[in-house]
Structure 1
Amino acid sequence: MRSPNFNYGRWLIAALLMLQSVWVYAHPPGLSSLDLVVKPPQIDAKITFALQDIEAFALMDSDLDAEVTDAERDAAKPSIAKLLAEQLRVNIDGQDVLPREPGQVNFDDQNNAHVELHYSDLPKQALLVQSKFLALLPDGHQQYLTVRDANGKALTEKMLDKHDDQISLPIANAAAAESPQAPFAAFGDFFKLGIEHILTGYDHLLFLFALLAVTHSFWPALKIITFFTIAHSITLACAGLNLIELPSSFVEPFIAATIIYVGVENIIRGDHPKGRHWLTFGFGLIHGFGFAGVLQEMDISSGDTGILLPLLSFNLGIETGQIAVAAIVLPLIWWLNKQVETSDKFLRGGSVAVSLMGAFWLVERTMF
């Protein structure tokens, strides 16, 4: 008869392997931004989407060879501009208005599309904005909407989704009004986004699990979590403030490589590898660039504080989610590590699963 302790180890390893159901995208696109500026004599709108969100609705691979060239992307610009212009509803004083000219589309090196639209009218009583494109996207997609005046002050800010895709701004003069609640609403939105990002950032969670799998008590685990937090907070701030930039084509594969390394180290060195907290700090710096990408790539900022408020609240959300996950997982890890008969099987089996997942992501992010 098998020991019941062994069943717990098998259960945890099986739980790791179940991540295969969501491993294709460790970070789904899932986020876009919509920035409106009420600047006499017009309203300027800028929409930023990941190309993955648009490819299903605007044909880019015209020759169907499974590879989109720069020429094919350029040729798709008119259809992308037309699509987003049709899906963005701007209502001024009860009247829907259209852009005064076709939208301008640009692509960046992070696989995002930026669409600029211009509307000639200005609101005198009310402005309503509806992002109808969200209805076509998965439930989890969120779009951060900001309406500013000519001086850059936030009139209103809101996180939209397919079930709540519009905002109405009743104002006497949109260029002079300002919502005092906007900064507080933005803080809550980005705090929630940070929690969601870490809870769905399976590569970051797997990396953290691999680091903590060798711990047996509170203090070593606290050191690892603290060093990881400090490291990724540093690079999250540096990237968000544009002090340091690393392309996602480097960051994402490197994150996968850190997962493989820690998993293999667990297998080779076993419990209590020396300097684990310093290793955590070094690799945590890279993970911070991954966290920053979700804000940086979408040109997201908030009112007068620019990127600072989103960075702070987003990072606090990440830490909150990280602590919540650790609080649930650590007692189970410590209990399994204290079972003499099964602790070695748990560490090796879990680390093999972690390394395999990291290897898959590395291949997926470098070759596909």
Structure 2
Amino acid sequence: MKFASTHWAISLIAVLLTLQSAGVYAHPPGLSSLDVTIKPAQLDAKVTFALQDIEAFTPMDADLDAEVTEAEREAAKPAIAKLLAEQLRVNIDSHDALPSEPGQVSFDDQNNARVELHYAGAVQTALLVQSKFLALLPDGHQQYLTVRDANGKALSEKMLGKHDDQISLPIANAAVAESPQAPFAAFGDFFKLGIEHILTGYDHLLFLFALLAVTHSFWPALKIITFFTVAHSITLACAGLNLIELPSSFVEPFIAATIIYVGVENIIRGDHPKGRHWLTFGFGLIHGFGFAGVLQEMDISSGDTGILLPLLSFNLGIETGQIAVAAIVLPMIWWLNNKIETAEKFLKAGSIAVSLMGVFWLLERTVLQ
């Protein structure tokens, strides 16, 4: 029986380490955005991608010194504009349109590239937009497309992927026929995106595992999960309303630091640390900024609700995924913690593994940048 218990402890830790290793270099959630505006005499398109999605096709490090300077980024702008112009198909009234001028490229402090393209001509009967660049990216990459009128009102929204990379809109009476469901059309897409984000957000899952590793029963675990949920929901709302904004260069290293702290606390204080729920709440606020940054960095918005509706459905997806993971992992944690022969070994071994991964992520997001 002792061997079986130890085997379960080792297996759970091994699974967690395998998941961590798989996601160390991931850029969740593999998301970009495409914003199309239909004006009386032209059509404007703005594409936003993470730089790492672009660099594989338009290398910026000209001198191969493993460091991209400001001058090298500026020099790469024409190639980036050309790439996106070639990969974006805009068909107006059954005729493929070409940009009326070279694309304008800009970079932000979140390591994103934005390309603005303009197409001359009025849309009379039909519009088709195809993002062919998605075919070059990994299968999991998604692109949120919004089509707006000249007044900024959302007319259609769709989450694009490699195997569904276009949208076709009929035109009626010289205006796009808006669906009454348009503002809420992407609710399911962002809900699914939230589930995917938490299931592949190994740093968030590891933090949650470290918090729950000290629990022995349902109510203490529920308190921790509830405080974590409330905390990151608050910062999601604040970020959505642009009340508070923190750069990812601060948030991501801090998230790694929270993982280290909780792991070390588990080792030092054992399985009865006081005030764990308040610690969860404080650190959960920072994790919430990490969740919100996923959508904010890509200029995601939906209809007249702006970023709030995507954030709401995204957050609901995160909670659903979080509950599903907890439902699977918690019975194993409680079983191991309630076995005298495995409880201490499991907590220490798991917490050491958690702390080491936290240290790795902290270094990766700071000195190894």
Change (3 A) 1:173 1:194: farther
Equivalent in the alignment of 1:56: 56
Shift of 1:150: 1.2
* d(CA) in 2 for partners of 1:23, 1:190: 21
Q: Which residue of 2 aligns with 1:10?
A: 10
Which residue identity does 1:155 align to in structure 2? L
| Per-residue deviation, residues 300-335 of structure 1 (Å, max 9, x unmatched) | 000111111111111111111111111111111111
Aligned length: 368
Cα distance in structure 2, aligned partners of 1:207 and 1:67: 31
Determine if contact 1:260/1:355 at 8 Å carries over to the other structure: yes
Query: SS state of the match for residue 366, structure 1?
Result: coil
After superposition, residues 1-368 of structure 1 pair within 5 angstroms as 3-25=3-25, 27-28=27-28, 30-173=30-173, 175-367=175-367, 368=369
| Residue identity in the other structure for 1:269 | R
Contact in 2 for aligned 1:231/1:285 (Cα 8 Å)? yes
Inter-partner Cα distance in structure 1 for 2:10 and 2:174: 60
* Structure 1 Cα separation of the partners of residues 265 and 124 of structure 2: 64
CA contact (8 A) 2:169 2:176 kept: no
State whether residues 29 and 50 of structure 1, in contact with CA within 8 Å, keep that contact through their aligned partners in structure 2: no
Q: CA RMSD in A?
A: 1.2
Aligned-partner Cα distance in 1 for 2:303–2:52: 28
Counterpart contact for 1:149–1:174, Cα < 8 Å: no
Q: 1: distance between equivalents of 2:226 and 2:2?
A: 38
> 1 CA distance for matches of 2:29 and 2:228?
24
- Whole-Å separation in 2 of the counterparts to 1:20 and 1:313: 26
How much does 1:151 deviate? 1.8
Task: Decide whether aligned partners of structure 1 residues 21 and 118 sit closer, same or farther in structure 2, where only a CA change above 3 A counts.
Answer: same
Distance 2:87 2:241 in 1: 31
Q: 1:365, CA displacement in angstroms?
A: 0.3
- CA-to-partner distance for each residue in 1:159-211, whole Å, 9 max, x for gaps? 00111101111222463421222233211111111111111100000000000
In 2, are the aligned partners of 1:224 and 1:276 still within 8 Å (CA)?
yes
Residue identity opposite 1:24 in structure 2: V
1:235–1:288 contact (8 Å) kept in structure 2: yes
CA contact (8 A) 2:28 2:197 kept: no
Unmatched segments (≥5 aa) in structure 2:
none
Q: 5+ unaligned residues in a row in structure 1: which ranges?
A: none
Displaced runs of 4 or more, over 3 A: 26-29, 173-176
TM (norm. structure 2) is 0.97
**CA contact under 8 A between 1:195 and 1:318: conserved in structure 2?**
yes
Q: What percentage of residue pairs aligned between the two structures are identical? A: 85
In the TM superposition, residue 16 of structure 1 has moved relative to its aligned partner by: 1.7
2:118 counterpart SS class:
strand
Change (3 A) 1:366 1:20: same
Partners in 1 of 2:174 and 2:341 — Cα distance? Answer: 69
Q: Please say if residues 39 and 175 of structure 1, whose CA atoms lie closer than 8 Å, have aligned partners that are also in contact.
A: no
Question: Aligned with 2:147: secondary structure?
Answer: strand
- Inter-CA distance 174–300: structure 2 relative to 1 (3 Å threshold): farther
Deviation at 1:262, TM superposition (A): 0.3
Normalised by the size of structure 1, how large is the TM-score? 0.98
Cα distance in structure 2, aligned partners of 1:122 and 1:351: 61
